[in-house]
Structure 1
Amino acid sequence: MSEHTDAPGQSREQDGVAPSESEVSRQLAQLTDLFTRRLKDDRDKRALIEDLKDRLRTAENGAVLDQIAPFVTGTIRVVDRLDAHIIERAHREDPGGPTDPNLEFLRSVRLELLDLLAQHQVEQIDVQVLFDPRVHEVVEMRGDHRDGRDIRILALVRRGFHHPSRLLRPAQVVTEEVAAPERRSPDRAPW
């Protein structure tokens, strides 16, 4: 073999001959492609890992809730009974008279039970917002019924509760339809 012929597997660089510009460009393109693919694979793997972590967290939350569900539903029913009793006693109370110490005690117990539920990530559903059919149940609707109008919550009939893993009970509400607020174009200032 001559000194200038390449043996199989031997590059021109090993012979001391510089590779051509096209060879360098081709190798650079291959390396760039490899680098890009590996970066994409890493991003995809990270996204998959995050998705799996979220699913695991949700499953764990659901499993915990399944274990404490009897406690949670029983506590919610006790809160319902306390709410009804507090409302009944408050209506009988003289507005100008002294506050009934038993009524204050019932309110205190109710707050403690709600705090206990919150410690287990069981929260009340917010009713100080526009109606959301995913978490609110309409038991009475007042006013006109026209399409394209927002629904506002007027009153809470029964508290609703949710856990990060699921809705436990929708909030039962009285609603009314209201004119939707004027939609502003994004290029206009809000004032």
Structure 2
Amino acid sequence: MPYPTKTYSFSKKICIGESPKFILNGTVLYKFLPMNTQTDTELSPADVDNQQSQKLTDSSEIGNQILDKLDHLQSGLDSLGDIFEQRLTYDKEKEKAFDLLYTELQALKENSAFDSVKSLYLDLILLLDRVENIKESITDDKIENRSDSIKNILTSVSEEVLEILLRQQIEVIQTVSGTPFNPSCQKAIQTQETDVESENNRVFSIVRRGFHYGNRILRPEEVIVSKYHRT
């Protein structure tokens, strides 16, 4: 059995000045703008000013955002610079501490080595004293015609002992009479009165030589010190 069919009739009505319409049995289905309808709306001067103001506001906001980012970047760079400077200072302090520790260890090593042979050096110094005393005690009256040769031998021995000490960095404390008394490297064994005030507490004479090893006093110099006495 065939399906029933229904026929629709379309008609197109065009009115001047109105939008075209498609009508289905008297019912409007679509409505279009007229061909001469203007879609672009003209803006008033106030609207133009508002748009320009909005654009300026948007530009200002973008500029502020850029400045904020630059400030943040600068802060980050400053922080990085501070960290770098702190690390550099830390490295310098660490290097300085290592150098100081190395110096102290070297000094301890040298002092330990020196202390182990200190007694030997003191014995050599005593030997030097005895040789000098013997040489000074020799006179022509005691030893006929041989005093000069014996003194030369003793002088040679004395110089050799001094050379041995010098090779071990042990040196004689050099002092001249008339210089101020220095208790850090000198020992006053006697005083000598003087009536000259400017000579007070100055070395009058050297009794026995002193020796030092670097900054260490191996044996202080024995001296006679002048003391001012008002007459």
TM (norm. structure 2) is 0.59
In structure 2, do the counterparts of structure 1 residues 144 and 34 end up closer, same or farther at CA, with 3 Å as the change threshold?
Answer: farther
The residue type paired with residue 223 of structure 2 is V
How far is the alpha carbon of 1:149 from its aligned partner?
7.8
Alignment of 1:70-89 (within 5 A): 70-89=119-138
**Are 2:73 and 1:46 equivalent residues in the alignment?**
no
User: Secondary structure of the equivalent of 2:156?
Assistant: helix
In structure 2, do the counterparts of structure 1 residues 176 and 93 end up closer, same or farther at CA, with 3 Å as the change threshold?
Answer: farther
Q: Which residue of 2 aligns with 1:68?
A: 117
Unaligned runs of 5+ in 1: 1-16, 179-191
Q: Which residue of 1 aligns with 2:204?
A: 154
User: Secondary structure of the equivalent of 1:109?
Assistant: helix
Partner Cα distance (2:73, 2:198) in 1: 64
TM (norm. structure 1) is 0.70
Maintained 8 Å contact 1:61/1:164: no
User: Secondary structure of the equivalent of 1:20?
Assistant: helix
**Are 2:156 and 1:111 equivalent residues in the alignment?**
no
Residues 97-147 of structure 1: CA distance to partner in whole angstroms, max 9, x if unpaired?
A: 9970110111111111011011112111221353221111111222459x9
Larger deviation, residues 45-54 vs 72-81: 45-54
Matched pairs, number? 158
Alignment of 1:167-182 (within 5 A): 167-176=217-226
Q: Which residue of 2 aligns with 1:37?
A: 86
Partner Cα distance (1:151, 1:79) in 2: 29
Q: Which residue of 1 aligns with 2:11?
A: none
Residues 22-52 of structure 1: CA distance to partner in whole angstroms, max 9, x if unpaired?
A: 2122112212211221221122122212211
Unaligned runs of 5+ in 2: 1-65
Q: Give aligned-pair identity as a percent.
A: 25
In structure 2, do the counterparts of structure 1 residues 87 and 56 end up closer, same or farther at CA, with 3 Å as the change threshold?
Answer: same
Q: 2:184 aligns with which of 131, 134, 139?
A: 134
The residue type paired with residue 128 of structure 2 is V
The residue type paired with residue 122 of structure 1 is I
The residue type paired with residue 141 of structure 1 is T
Partner Cα distance (1:163, 1:153) in 2: 22
Maintained 8 Å contact 2:201/2:226: yes
Partner Cα distance (1:76, 1:54) in 2: 29
Higher RCO (C-alpha 8 Å, min separation 6): 1
Tell which structure's C-alpha radius of gyration is larger.
Answer: 2
